[in-house]
Amino acid sequence: MSERIDVLVIGGGPVGAALALSLQGSPVSVTVLEARSSPAPDPRMLALSYGSKLFLERIRAWQGIHDATPINTIHVSQKGGFGRTVLTAEESGVPSLGYVVSYPDIHRALVSGLDTETYLEGACAGEIDLSEEEGVVDFDYQGQRRRIAAKLVVMADGGKLVEHVKGISLDSREYGQWAIIGQVRTEKPHGNTAYERFTPEGPLALLPCRDGFSLVWTTSPETAREILSLEKEKFLEKLHDHFGGRLGEFVDAGAMSGFPLVLKYATPSVSKHLALIGNASQTLHPVSGQGLNLGLRDVATLSRVVMGAEEIGSGAMLGNYAGMRKMDRESGICFTDSLIRIFSNEISPLRMGRGMALASMDCLPPFRKWFSRKMMFGIRTGSIL
């Protein structure tokens, strides 16, 4: 059976679901194909910027998130070197710099706003055929092979199918790092402060979360395996050695999981009747928590461009979208990748340079404010949140 709609979204994770929600209620017809039949448990706690919160409020998803811990201060430092800087919500003129929310909570809040005809669970997309007229996608759904034609196919599948799409090339860089994530508690309260500490093995982040912290500890795969096999007491000791005593002792830890880290980005991010958004377009290192925030800015821009288009999926519409996203997207990729290259080594002149950069930033409130606002709202080129 074949039907033709305006927008077909492949992948109903937070980014694909947010696009469908932002188009819902407009004259644009939209269907989402989500391979999973029910949401998988995902241990990720995500730092959403204040800009993302405003966007989620606008599409009425934030109202469905009941467990969000505000980040009012961000403390950035490097292990084994001088220099640190502190960013605050007050200085940036916002109520909070961001909020820590679980992946399942954001996802649920987005999907619950969509009706079951729009969001097809258990629909796994396979072949994508792009022609001058339309995009056609084959998918398996309820034991049947089905096909949908759309004026615009949007890939929001997290990057799984991109390499099979003609005309799109995928660049990638293995970081040789894993992120260990889980919940920890410390002797001292978090006071709504997030910590980003750069170490030669990789950055370590502690995000305020409920009455403790959500930990993102990046290290080599070998060390990660070793850390994941430690008993709780030994784990807490090792974490204390690595992070230091700023928060007193680490007193408790929940179950930990490991994620291998890679940078992947597609070029170009649009093709005939096709746009890539979220992790399908760019999968970043989690340092500074940019991935979903960037993906939601893709959504905010694309939904606006689609709703204002004379012809959905045309070359003009897609060129307009790609142009509006170019600078923010490339800066996000370059910023996170450079942080890892610059901070993940022990060369002493570099350590000194990093210390000076952090110390100078600490002495320049206008620069700090400019920087915080770029992190919260991205680089605006005629768009967005």
Ligand X SMILES: Cc1cc2nc3c(=O)[nH]c(=O)nc-3n(C[C@H](O)[C@H](O)[C@H](O)COP(=O)(O)OP(=O)(O)OC[C@H]3O[C@@H](n4cnc5c(N)ncnc54)[C@H](O)[C@@H]3O)c2cc1C
Query: Under the rule (CB under 6 A), what is the footprint of ligand X?
Result: 10-16, 33-36, 44, 46-47, 124-125, 156-158, 160-161, 179, 181, 216, 259, 278-279, 286, 289-293, 295
- Which residue is associated with the tokens 């002149």? 349
Question: Residue 291 corresponds to which tokens in the numbers above?
Answer: 């991935």
384 SS3 class: coil
Which residue is closest to ligand X by CB? 13
- Judged by beta carbon, residue 295 or residue 313, the one nearer ligand X is 295
Give the residues across from 149 on adjacent strands: 4, 136
- Judged by beta carbon, residue 77 or residue 293, the one nearer ligand X is 293
CB of 178 to ligand X, least distance (A): 9
- Judged by beta carbon, residue 102 or residue 271, the one nearer ligand X is 102
* Burial grade of 262 (CB within 10 A; 0-12, 13-18, 19 or more): middle
Question: Residue 40 corresponds to which tokens in the numbers above?
Answer: 């998988």
Instruction: Determine the Cα–Cα distance for residues 63 and 16; give it in Å rounded to an integer.
Output: 19
Instruction: Determine the Cα–Cα distance for residues 22 and 246; give it in Å rounded to an integer.
Output: 42
In terms of Cα–Cα distance, which of 265, 84, 288 is closest to 203?
288
CB of 283 to ligand X, least distance (A): 7
CB of 292 to ligand X, least distance (A): 3
Phi and psi for 203 in degrees, rounded to 5?
-75, 150
CB of 323 to ligand X, least distance (A): 21
- Judged by beta carbon, residue 81 or residue 128, the one nearer ligand X is 128
CB of 118 to ligand X, least distance (A): 14
- Judged by beta carbon, residue 125 or residue 184, the one nearer ligand X is 125
Q: Report residue 383 CA to chain centroid gap.
A: 19
Q: What is the DSSP string of 320-339?
A: HHHHHHHHHHHHHHHHHHHH
CB of 371 to ligand X, least distance (A): 17
- Judged by beta carbon, residue 138 or residue 249, the one nearer ligand X is 138
